[in-house]
């Protein structure tokens, strides 16, 4: 990761600030990993902050308040150092809004959104801009007590209507929301407040109050930095060091959004947030992706402002490195064909659990009766049953030692195997392949390698193929 600037005097403070409107996704992991790794590297602090100030467009979800900290802990291997919830801090934001009005760098604007858009485009001051402090405070109170309704009035930060960048012109800081129709999900908040800060204001004030020193976030928030810097100037604060990353697309996933996923889950396309096909933290967990691997993946992509598109193979490659040494080998026979082995067949045979780690012990396959299953694809000509014997097309043992270059295939015996199902999470649908798996007592969640197929995770239904 790139070196940070402005690290001189104090321990740095970072923050990861999602909207708790659903479980975390793959993309959120970047914010957690990068901010968390920097915090760890510099013995700094990581704040997890819930920016839950919108009850209408992207309403928060109660369950996420408990789930997200767990997901952060899973990913980092340690919890966030501090959790801040914006909806607990509304009075603090009000204080700052009032200070803004009193010090004349903010005003209550009663123009409609459309009317203000005209002013913004024409670089014209809105008539509300020149109101007295008294008038602004009076209007502010009418916002607070509900005399005004959502849409009637907002608090704006006075910047300059002639600024080159239209996004920065007298930007809105607080607005009203109908929290009776759309109550906040947290039981102690519900309909308590009518006036709510917008992200740029809430985040800016909170960053200052929490002593955040470094903000690392998406470059879509570049204009936010500029807006917030203008606010900091008004307050006489200095803005944190800011670093941006560009947009990341995973080729196989394309564009998933929390709202899109929610809709797809609700209409039954996916089983839930933990569906292994979904790019959620839970989906990745279900798919056997290790926290370490995900961390390494994001650190390797680093923090650049380029918009990139990466293949899943990159993530899988990191994952393979993490799991291979621990993954017991197992035989899974797709579309099994039974073959009776003729000749001098031992009653049982021992196979290593892991070819590179003999200390992991052996597995025993019974060959009494001497019948085995092989994949129908492999059932042509002669072959070698791995770790056992060379067999001719009729099932006769030709040699116990490897005698030629015939293909080596995996197999299992009829006795030491049972029916099982292999689930393959393709993009569109989950493919179910039934077959015979070598008998084992691995519990759900264990990651194994199905020889010649790939890495899979044991589930209650059978095996879920992770990747090759």
Q: Quick one: 39 or 250, whose CB is closer to RNA? A: 250
Which of the residues 68 through 107 are near RNA (CB under 7 A)?
none
Instruction: Round to whole Å and give the CA distance between 415 and 395.
Output: 17
From residue 5 to residue 24, the character string flagging contacts with RNA as x (rule: CB under 7 A) and all else as - is ------------xxx-----
Q: Which of 6, 10, 56, 124 is in the footprint of RNA by CB under 7 A?
A: 56
Task: Kindly state whether residue 41 participates in binding RNA, applying the rule CB under 7 A.
Answer: no
Q: Which of 6, 112, 362, 426 is in the footprint of RNA by CB under 7 A?
A: 112
Q: Quick one: 196 or 275, whose CB is closer to RNA? A: 196
DSSP code string of 30-79: HHHHHHHHHHHHTT-EEEEEE----SSSS---TTHHHHHHHHHHHHHSS-
Task: Kindly state whether residue 233 participates in binding RNA, applying the rule CB under 7 A.
Answer: no
CA 124 to chain CA centroid, Å, is 43
Q: Quick one: 305 or 368, whose CB is closer to RNA? A: 305
From residue 193 to residue 212, the character string flagging contacts with RNA as x (rule: CB under 7 A) and all else as - is ---x-xx-------------
Task: Kindly state whether residue 185 participates in binding RNA, applying the rule CB under 7 A.
Answer: no
- Tell me the window of 77-85, 88-96, 130-138, 294-302 that interacts with RNA (CB under 7 A): 294-302
Which of the residues 249 through 288 are near RNA (CB under 7 A)?
none
Virtual CA dihedral for 299, 304, 305, 306, nearest 10 degrees?
A: -90
Task: Kindly state whether residue 181 participates in binding RNA, applying the rule CB under 7 A.
Answer: no
- Tell me the window of 6-14, 27-35, 115-123, 411-419 that interacts with RNA (CB under 7 A): 115-123
In whole angstroms, how close is the CB of 225 to RNA at the nearest point? 9
Which of the residues 408 through 437 are near RNA (CB under 7 A)?
408-410
Q: Quick one: 277 or 322, whose CB is closer to RNA? A: 322
Q: Quick one: 11 or 259, whose CB is closer to RNA? A: 259
Q: Which of 39, 47, 90, 301 is in the footprint of RNA by CB under 7 A?
A: 301
Q: Are 182 and 59 in contact (CB under 8 A)?
A: yes
Q: Which of 69, 79, 246, 395 is in the footprint of RNA by CB under 7 A?
A: 246
Instruction: Round to whole Å and give the CA distance between 346 and 149.
Output: 85
Q: Quick one: 56 or 238, whose CB is closer to RNA? A: 56
Residue with tokens 């402090």: 133
In whole angstroms, how close is the CB of 268 to RNA at the nearest point? 26
Three-class DSSP category at 303: coil
Closest CA to 223 of 207, 199, 205: 199
From residue 333 to residue 352, the character string flagging contacts with RNA as x (rule: CB under 7 A) and all else as - is --------------------
Task: Kindly state whether residue 183 participates in binding RNA, applying the rule CB under 7 A.
Answer: no
Number of residues that bind RNA (CB under 7 A): 76
In whole angstroms, how close is the CB of 308 to RNA at the nearest point? 4
Output 460-463 pairs: Cβ under 8 A, ≥24 positions apart: 461/421, 461/423, 462/420, 462/421, 462/422, 462/423, 462/437, 463/332, 463/420, 463/421, 463/422, 463/423, 463/437
Instruction: Round to whole Å and give the CA distance between 24 and 29.
Output: 7
Q: Which of 180, 302, 337, 342 is in the footprint of RNA by CB under 7 A?
A: 302
Closest CA to 279 of 455, 423, 425: 425
Q: Quick one: 58 or 234, whose CB is closer to RNA? A: 58
Closest CA to 170 of 208, 139, 201: 201
Which of the residues 137 through 176 are near RNA (CB under 7 A)?
150-154, 164-167, 172, 175-176
Closest CA to 349 of 442, 416, 441: 416
In whole angstroms, how close is the CB of 460 to RNA at the nearest point? 25
Closest CA to 150 of 182, 102, 107, 105: 182
Three-class DSSP category at 291: helix
Instruction: Round to whole Å and give the CA distance between 377 and 242.
Output: 56
In whole angstroms, how close is the CB of 318 to RNA at the nearest point? 8
Q: Which of 306, 393, 403, 432 is in the footprint of RNA by CB under 7 A?
A: 306
In whole angstroms, how close is the CB of 271 to RNA at the nearest point? 26
Which of the residues 438 through 467 are near RNA (CB under 7 A)?
449, 451-452
Q: Are 281 and 29 in contact (CB under 8 A)?
A: yes
Task: Kindly state whether residue 386 participates in binding RNA, applying the rule CB under 7 A.
Answer: yes
Virtual CA dihedral for 303, 255, 59, 194, nearest 10 degrees?
A: 70
Instruction: Round to whole Å and give the CA distance between 454 and 440.
Output: 17
- Tell me the window of 38-46, 133-141, 383-391, 433-441 that interacts with RNA (CB under 7 A): 383-391
Q: Quick one: 208 or 329, whose CB is closer to RNA? A: 329
**Rounded to 5 degrees, what angle do the CA atoms 324, 325, 331 make?**
60
Instruction: Round to whole Å and give the CA distance between 258 and 234.
Output: 35
């Amino acid at each position: 990761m790139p070196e940070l600037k402005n690290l001189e005097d104090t321990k740095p403070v970072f923050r990861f600030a999602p909207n708790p409107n659903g479980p975390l996704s793959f993309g959120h992991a970047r914010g957690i990993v990068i901010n968390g790794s920097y915090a760890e590297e510099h013995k700094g602090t990581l704040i997890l902050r819930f920016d839950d100030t919108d009850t209408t467009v992207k309403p928060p979800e109660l369950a996420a308040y408990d789930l997200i900290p767990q997901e952060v802990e899973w990913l980092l291997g340690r919890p966030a150092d501090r959790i801040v919830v914006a909806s607990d801090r509304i009075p603090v934001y009000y204080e700052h809004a009032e200070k803004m009005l009193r010090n004349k760098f903010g005003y209550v604007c009663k123009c409609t959104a459309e009317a203000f858009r005209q002013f913004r485009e024409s670089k014209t001051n809105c008539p509300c801009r020149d109101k007295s402090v008294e008038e602004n405070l009076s209007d502010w109170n009418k916002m607070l007590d509900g005399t005004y309704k959502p849409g009637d009035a907002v608090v704006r930060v006075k910047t300059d209507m002639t600024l080159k960048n239209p996004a920065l012109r007298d930007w809105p800081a607080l607005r009203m929301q109908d929290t009776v129709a759309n109550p906040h999900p947290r039981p102690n908040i519900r309909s308590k407040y009518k006036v709510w800060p917008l992200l740029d204001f809430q985040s800016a004030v909170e960053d200052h109050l929490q002593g955040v020193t470094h903000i690392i976030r998406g470059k879509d928030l570049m204009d936010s930095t500029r807006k917030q810097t203008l606010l900091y100037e008004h307050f006489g604060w200095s803005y944190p060091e800011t670093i941006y990353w560009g947009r990341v697309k995973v080729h196989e996933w394309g564009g998933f959004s929390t709202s899109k996923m929610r809709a797809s889950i609700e209409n039954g396309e996916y089983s839930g947030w933990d569906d292994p096909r979904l790019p959620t933290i839970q989906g990745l967990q279900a798919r056997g992706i290790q926290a370490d691997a995900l961390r390494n993946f994001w650190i390797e992509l680093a923090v650049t402002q380029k918009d990139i598109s990466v293949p899943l193979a990159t993530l899988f490659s990191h994952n393979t490195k993490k799991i291979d040494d621990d993954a017991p080998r197992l035989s899974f026979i797709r579309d099994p064909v039974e073959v009776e082995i003729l000749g001098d067949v031992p009653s049982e045979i021992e196979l290593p659990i892991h070819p590179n780690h003999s200390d992991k012990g052996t597995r025993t396959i019974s060959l009494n009766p001497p019948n085995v299953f092989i994949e129908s694809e492999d059932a042509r000509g002669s072959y070698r049953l791995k770790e056992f014997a060379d067999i001719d097309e009729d099932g006769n043992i030709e040699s116990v030692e490897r005698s030629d270059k015939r293909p080596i295939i995996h197999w299992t015996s009829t006795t030491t195997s049972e029916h099982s199902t292999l689930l393959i999470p393709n993009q569109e649908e989950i493919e179910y392949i039934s077959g015979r798996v070598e008998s084992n007592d691995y519990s759900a969640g264990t990651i194994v390698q199905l020889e010649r197929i790939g890495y899979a995770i044991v589930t209650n239904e059978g095996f879920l193929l992770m990747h090759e």
